[in-house]
Amino acid sequence: MNKDLTMEQGYVRKPKFYGVGVGPGDSRLLTLRAVEVLQECQVIAIPRSKMERESIAWEIAKPHCPEGAKILELEMPMTSDQGVLQAAWEKAAKAVMGEINQGNSVAFLTLGDPSFYSTYTYLLNILKENLDPEQIETVPGITAMSAAAARVNLPLAIGDEPLLVIPGTGSLAEYRKFPNLVLMKASRNLDEILKVVHKGEVEGILATRVGQERENIRFLNKNEELEKVDYLTLVLLKHKS
Ligand SMILES: C[S@@+](CC[C@H](N)C(=O)[O-])C[C@H]1O[C@@H](n2cnc3c(N)ncnc32)[C@H](O)[C@@H]1O
């Protein structure tokens, strides 16, 4: 692998930091640019929570990475404690800068799209203070919601319809007549989601681990009862109007 500090067309290319969207699960759903970047980078940075046995983003990207690429594991704890999170992002940024200062370009893997509810943004905000703008590139990826809609051959939205994405917990009462809802992190808001589904006014799709080995995608019926679902689950709700 060539280091980016080599002379190229008469000027020195600085090493770069890339946020690479690897899509939701299927290794064929990466963009050509994502594959190009993975093949060129000397270091592949993998965000990992302590609880995770395997990194899903790495499993997706692995077939596209050259053998011998250095793997940099960055611990990203699953907590809402801002102090713990900030410390983890700063530690991760330091590790990335350590590689860049040695002339290595770093690809940070993100499930789905890096600009869509990803820890990449927090890391990027710190790195922006240390890098020149031309040293940063965000490579978009296919979001889990796009992949889920595609798997059931339904549009997320059409014509003049709005689309609302709700990323957390809380009451959905005021949104239940909205034409198109995407409920991210659905495992944390199942009771509220079921209240909407039970009214029978929506077409609901529950999508777990889209594109991955344990993929489970199904339509939710009016009498649906769900006790627990995987963290990697989203729900699409379309109002029947
Ligand atoms: C932190 S967000 C990451 C979103 C991601 N950046 C994207 O572009 O889709 C995590 C949430 O995304 C959804 N998600 C991510 N990957 C998924 C997949 N393969 N199948 C279903 N939902 C997924 C789940 O709702 C999960 O709780």
Ligand 1 centre from 232 Cα, in Å?
6
Domain housing 24: 7-142
Q: Please state the φ and ψ torsions of residue 82, each to the nearest 5 degrees.
A: -60, -35
CATH of the domain at 20: 3.40.1010.10
- Of 103, 87, 215, 93, the closest CA to residue 152 belongs to 215
Task: Please choose from 26, 111, 151, 189 the residue to mutate so as to test ligand 1's pocket, defined by most ligand atoms within 8 A of CB.
Answer: 111
Give the pLDDT band (50/70/90) at residue 11.
Answer: low
Which of 107, 142, 177 is at the close of a domain? 142
Q: Please state the φ and ψ torsions of residue 39, each to the nearest 5 degrees.
A: -75, -20
Ligand 1 closest atom vs CA 24: 19
Please state, rounded to an integer, the average pLDDT across all residues of the chain: 93
Same domain, 29 and 53: yes
Same domain, 157 and 229: yes
Region 34-56 average pLDDT:
89
| Within-domain flag for 221 | yes
Same domain, 235 and 162: yes
| Within-domain flag for 2 | no
| Within-domain flag for 1 | no
Strands 164-166 and 180-183: parallel
pTM of the model: 0.93
Which of 142, 176, 194 is at the close of a domain? 142
pLDDT of residue 52: 67
How many domains does the chain contain in total?
Answer: 2
| Alpha helix (H) residue ranges in the chain | 32-40, 56-61, 82-101, 120-127, 144-151, 190-198
Same domain, 125 and 200: no
CATH of the domain at 165: 3.30.950.10
Same domain, 100 and 51: yes
Which of 127, 142, 157 is at the close of a domain? 142
Give the pLDDT band (50/70/90) at residue 13.
Answer: confident
Q: Which residues surround ligand 1 with Cβ inside 6 Å? A: 24-25, 110-113, 116-118, 143-144, 184-186, 207-212, 231-234
Same domain, 160 and 44: no
Ligand 1 centre from 112 Cα, in Å?
7
Region 117-140 average pLDDT:
97
For 187, how many CA atoms within 13 A lie in the half-sphere containing its CB? 9
